[in-house]
Amino acid sequence: MNEDRQTEGKPAGATVQEPAAASHGAEERRVPSDIETKLLGDAPADTPEELEAKVAGKVLAGTRGASAPVKQAAVTVGIVALVLVLAFVFQLAQFPAPVIGVIVVVAIVMFALVLVNPHVVRTQAGRALVYTRLAKGQPVRVMRLGGVYQSATYLGFQSCEPVFKYIKAFDVVFDAEDAVRAATGHGVERVLALGGGGFSWPKHAILDHDCLHVDVVEIDPAIIQAARRWFYLDMIERYAGRRLRVHEGDGRAVLDKRARRLEAGESKAQRYDAIVNDTFSGGEPVRELATVEAAQAVHTCLNPGGVYATNVVARDDDTSVLRNTVATLSQVFAHVHVIPVEEDAWASDDNYIVVATDGGTQFSGTVPFDEEFLGEVLRDEGNVAERLDVAQDSLERLGELRASFGDSEALVNLDDVQLRNAISSRYA
């Protein structure tokens, strides 16, 4: 998370130094603030150290004086609580040992459930479980789907700090600042994120980069709702305002639509300085975003010198997905780099960030590879563009219906077979 920012300038009640001629060599004195005047009455001006000591003493004294009734109440409550606990223990001791054991176990389970706070989320990829666990002594809220952790967030002040190492590794796109600035006159300011999940990287990037604008595309409305409810998306939306835009839609359909507008020369269609891809269908990457045609759409949507970064998972020492990704992107981009990310704490599989660009940016942590490493070049199967357009139109219709119903459960019982089929075909 970014460092705390302190505003410059003097607030009301800041210290004021008297002119040297008036002090005649005396120690530095300052005028008490309004709050200090209320505390000290008509006390004369003192040196900063003396004045602060007086104020501190007055505050402490006032606190001690005012807290006497509070202390008495606290003592009373403590005594009552102790008596109740002793009475409960005494009564519990009257029961047989097996009964006592059952009561203790039930109490422990209830206490654990309160701490874990589990929730089930119905997603398009199946039922996801949201709960809280400890990681290195810190409470972490996670979303588990398909046997793997899909999202995670620290609780409290670290809520925008990435939990997974590969999320932080997406910051590699900012290494292209110089290349983008040389080509466009500005740095990495506009980013498209494919896949929202718990919105870990958008939260982190928005806080760390004051001028950054991020568009996030998430296909599953249930995931967006879960992110707002349990993963602090609502908080970062209020903070970022227009710098963060969340779109419910299909990532490939969004890319294709933007690419067509750019190729048609639409003046309102803007390119991105970077695009990051963290999309999965269950535990597998989304094929529609892993093909040459998808890479071409990404390339069209990027500014000169821009960067595309995608997360790839290699399972059980099987690097075929990684090798296919590198081979496919090499068909479109001049340079492709592989950055391994160790994730021992949260996953048994290996994560890789594959970076593609036409610029000459050098990225840290890359590993070399040769042509023998390259796998299969993936291409679209059938008329993907038409199918995606239908699915996207259906999603937009569903969004309109959801808005009209106010997200009511009535949407579950829609008899629009055409709508259902169009959406389900996306995952056929």
Where residue 204 sits, what CATH number does that domain have? 3.40.50.150
Give the structural domain span for 424.
382-428
**317: pLDDT strictly greater than 80:** no
Kindly report, residue by residue over 271-284, the tens digit of the pLDDT: 999 999 999 875 67
How long is the chain? Answer: 428
Domain co-membership, 412 together with 331? no
14 domain residue, yes or no: no
Instruction: Examine the pLDDT at 241 and tell me if it is beyond 60.
Output: yes
Looking at the structure, tell me whether residues 291 and 420 fall in a common domain: no
* Per-chain mean pLDDT for the chain: 77
Q: Are residues 209 and 179 in the same domain?
A: yes
**290 and 207: one domain?**
yes
| Cβ(180)–Cβ(305) below 8 Å | yes
Backbone angles phi, psi at 294, to 5 degrees: -65, -40
CA 295 to CA 280: how far, in whole Å? Answer: 16
pLDDT higher than threshold 70 for residue 389:
no
pTM over 0.85, yes/no: no
- Contact between 289 and 252 under an 8 Å Cβ cutoff? The reply is yes
Written as six digits, the tokens of 116 are 């874990």
Pairing of strands 126-135, 138-145: antiparallel
In a domain, 125, yes or no: no
Looking at the structure, tell me whether residues 387 and 363 fall in a common domain.
no
pLDDT value for 238: 94
The identity of residue 283, as a single letter, is: G
User: What per-residue confidence (pLDDT) applies to 361?
Assistant: 92
* 341 and 241 co-located in one domain: yes
Note whether residue 144 is domain-resident: no
Better-scored residue on pLDDT, 346 or 178: 178
Of the listed ranges 159-163, 392-396, 417-421, the least confidently predicted one is 417-421
Domain count, the chain: 3
User: Residue 119: beta bridge partners?
Assistant: 130
Flag whether pLDDT at 379 surpasses 50: yes
Domain end position, chosen among 59, 91, 123: 91
Q: Within a domain: residue 127?
A: no
Q: Which of 366, 381, 396 is the last residue of a domain?
A: 381
Q: What is the per-residue pLDDT for 10?
A: 32
Q: Residue 427 domain-assigned? A: yes
Domain shared by 368 and 389, yes or no: no
Does the pLDDT value for residue 423 go beyond 50?
Answer: no
Give pairs for 322-326: CB < 8 Å, separation 24+: 322/352, 322/354, 322/375, 323/373, 323/374, 323/375, 323/376, 324/290, 324/375, 324/376, 324/377, 324/378, 325/285, 325/290, 325/354, 325/375, 326/354, 326/369, 326/373, 326/374, 326/375
Is residue 225 located within the same domain as residue 283? Answer: yes
Domain finish residue from 58, 75, 91:
91
Does residue 135 sit within a domain?
Answer: no
Q: What percent of the chain has pLDDT over 90?
A: 48
| In contact, 426 and 391? CB cutoff 8 Å | yes
What pLDDT digit, counting tens, does each position of 69-104 carry? 555 666 677 777 777 777 777 676 777 777 667 766
Specify whether 354 is located in the same domain as 330. Answer: yes
Q: What is the pLDDT of residue 36?
A: 45
Lowest mean pLDDT among 18-22, 67-71, 82-86, 377-381: 18-22
300 and 260, same domain (yes or no): yes
281 and 405 belong to one structural domain: no
Q: Tell which residue, 211, 259, 203, has the closest CA to residue 228.
A: 203
For residue 25, tell me if it sits in a domain: no
**67 within a domain of the structure (yes/no):** yes
351 or 306: which leads in pLDDT: 306
Do 339 and 246 have their domain in common? yes
